[in-house]
């Protein structure tokens, strides 16, 4: 498509106006900082943090730097977002199928859940899970014994932890490579059984290598007033994941329902004429076509959920906003730098998520003649 000179000039003027606006804002910020004897820079990231975090995936002490604190709370944000996306997708699919059920009770129960959750504030739901549900759990001495050695109490969810040997890192790298190669081998092996068999066997063999590198399993045990050993999921993380995933799942459920109903009625009739049951028709014929229609809308929900992890600050979950836009900003006084870092990280996470989902959407999109 040829671009006319008029379009080039108009686009150049718009870019010039944006550049001038950015320069003016930068200039005003620099002058205001100079008037207050302040300077702009990120050298404060190397300073000592002087505080600790109640939950972290990697080691962190008060002697760690602000830069390391940024990385630690970034991992906490990714953990909450990743868990929320997985749980919201599973719950959304289940609620969407329930909304289409023939059974009146099942269908209207799902409808009631959707209407109640999506018409109440998201922040209120997170606080409800934290205060009314998790804080009402029994103390550690009377914790709820769950399958697999897990224990749920007011202190959080105590899970068994795995102790790995020296060969764990190579096994994990092999597993990562296998997970990347398996889909590629599956697509290449449409007419070759050996490639598809390799695509199935490769992840299984890699998982077996990882399992062989496990030296022992450490179960949580009650010592005094709390549990020791294992891995502890704090109630703050549980509340954030529960609130975000449930709130997002009802929107995903409506997307699933609308996409399933958008599949041509003839597809369902054709599946029925082949002797497929209703469930077989749904999972083998209708749902694969509906998934291709719902990806753009579900992507928006994933992005909203990731941004909404900032609401974890309301229950003191140590994520980006609570730690870096709160504690670090107050201690260092670097408001502009701190907010730019937090905004840039959320922008980067969502741009990468959007790029991946758009790539996947192009791969599975229905190509019309």
Q: Is residue 76 part of a domain?
A: yes
Query: For the residues of 60-88, what is the DSSP string, one character each?
Result: --TTSBHHHHHHHHHHHHHHHHHHHHHHH
Of the CA atoms within 13 Å of residue 161, those in its CB half-sphere come to 12
> Does the structure show a pLDDT above 70 at 366?
no
Whether 338 is covered by a domain: the verdict is: yes
Q: Which residue has the tokens 């890192």?
A: 169
- Overall average pLDDT of the 99-105 stretch: 87
pLDDT surpassing 90 at residue 250: yes
Which band of pLDDT confidence, cut at 50, 70 and 90, is reported for residue 239?
Answer: very high
| Range among 36-45, 151-160, 178-187 with highest mean pLDDT value | 151-160
pLDDT over 90, % of the chain: 33
* Integer Cα distance of 241 and 224 in angstroms: 29
Specify which residues 223 forms β-bridges with. Answer: 226
Predicted local confidence at residue 189, as pLDDT: 64
pLDDT of the residue at 12: 86
The 10s digit of each residue's pLDDT in 33-67 is 777 777 777 888 889 998 999 888 889 999 999 99
We report the CATH number of the domain holding residue 259 as 1.10.3720.10
Q: Does a structural domain hold residue 113?
A: yes
Residue 223 lies in a domain: no
Q: What is the pLDDT of residue 3?
A: 66
C-alpha distance from residue 304 to each of 25, 87, 192, 252, 336 (Å): 28, 15, 41, 12, 24
> Is residue 309 pLDDT above 90, yes or no?
yes
pLDDT in tens, 197-221: 777 788 888 888 888 888 888 888 8
**To 5 degrees, how large is the angle CA 148–CA 150–CA 153?**
155
Has residue 190 got a pLDDT over 70?
Answer: no
The pLDDT confidence band at residue 2, using thresholds 50, 70 and 90, is: low
Residues, the chain: 369
What is the distance between the alpha carbons of residues 195 and 255, in angstroms, rounded to a whole number? 35
Catalogue the E-assigned strands of 106-220.
144-145, 151-153, 156-159, 161-164, 214-218
pLDDT in tens, 68-85: 999 999 999 999 999 999
Q: Of the candidates 174, 173, 197, which has an alpha carbon nearest to the alpha carbon of residue 186?
A: 197
Give the DSSP H or E segment for 176: helix 168-188
State mean pLDDT over 260-275.
Answer: 80
Range of the domain at 360: 66-121+233-307+319-364
Number of separate domains in the chain: 1
Integer-rounded Cα Rg, in Å, for the chain is: 25
- Does residue 198 fall inside a structural domain? no
- 203 within some domain: no
pLDDT value at residue 365: 67
CB 126 within 8 A of CB 312: yes
Residue 250 and residue 120 in contact, taking contact as beta carbons nearer than 8 Å? no
Could you list the beta-strand ranges (E) of the chain. 144-145, 151-153, 156-159, 161-164, 214-218, 221-223, 226-228, 231-233
Please tell me whether residue 121 adopts helix, strand or coil conformation: coil
The angle subtended at Cα 248 by Cα 244 and Cα 252, nearest 5°, is 160
**Would you say residue 16 lies in a domain?**
no
> How many whole angstroms separate alpha carbon 295 and alpha carbon 311?
25
Q: How far apart are the first and last CA of the chain?
A: 21
- Distance, in Å, from the CA atom of 138 to the CA atom of 141, rounded to the nearest integer, reads 8
Residue 97 lies in a domain: yes
Q: How far is Cα 75 from Cα 96, in angstroms, rounded to an integer?
A: 31
């Amino acid at each position: 498509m040829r671009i006319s000179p008029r379009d080039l000039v108009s686009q150049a003027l718009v870019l010039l106006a944006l550049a001038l606006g950015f320069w003016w804002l930068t200039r005003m910020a620099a002058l205001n900082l100079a008037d207050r004897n302040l300077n702009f820079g990120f050298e404060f990231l190397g300073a000592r943090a002087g505080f600790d975090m109640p939950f972290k995936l990697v080691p962190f002490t008060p002697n760690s730097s602000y830069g390391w604190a940024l990385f630690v709370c970034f991992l906490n944000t990714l953990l909450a977002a990743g868990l929320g996306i997985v749980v919201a997708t599973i719950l959304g699919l289940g609620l969407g199928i329930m909304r289409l059920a023939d059974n009146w009770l099942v269908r209207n129960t799902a409808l009631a859940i959707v209407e109640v959750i999506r018409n109440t504030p998201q922040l209120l739901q997170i606080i409800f899970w934290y205060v009314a549900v998790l804080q009402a759990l029994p103390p550690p001495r009377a914790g709820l014994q769950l399958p697999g050695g897990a224990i749920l109490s007011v202190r959080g969810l105590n899970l068994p932890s795995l102790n790995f040997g020296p060969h764990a890192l190579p096994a994990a790298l092999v597993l990562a490579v296998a997970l990347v190669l398996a889909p590629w081998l599956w697509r290449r092996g449409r007419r070759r059984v050996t490639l598809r068999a390799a695509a199935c066997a490769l992840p299984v063999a890699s998982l077996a290598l990882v399992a062989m590198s496990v030296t022992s399993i450490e179960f949580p045990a009650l010592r005094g007033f709390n549990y020791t050993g294992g891995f502890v999921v704090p109630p703050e993380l549980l509340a954030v994941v529960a609130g975000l995933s449930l709130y997002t799942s009802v929107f995903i459920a409506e997307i699933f329902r609308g996409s399933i109903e958008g599949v041509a009625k003839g597809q369902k009739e054709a599946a029925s004429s082949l002797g497929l049951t209703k469930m077989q028709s749904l999972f083998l014929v209708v749902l694969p076509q509906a998934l291709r229609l719902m990806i753009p809308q579900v992507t928006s929900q994933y992005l909203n959920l990731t941004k909404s992890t900032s609401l974890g600050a309301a229950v003191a979950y140590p994520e980006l906003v609570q730690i870096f836009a709160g504690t670090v900003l107050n201690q260092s006084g670097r408001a502009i730098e701190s907010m730019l870092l937090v905004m840039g990280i959320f922008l980067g996470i969502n741009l990468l998520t959007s790029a991946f989902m758009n790539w996947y959407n192009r791969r599975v999109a229905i190509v019309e003649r």
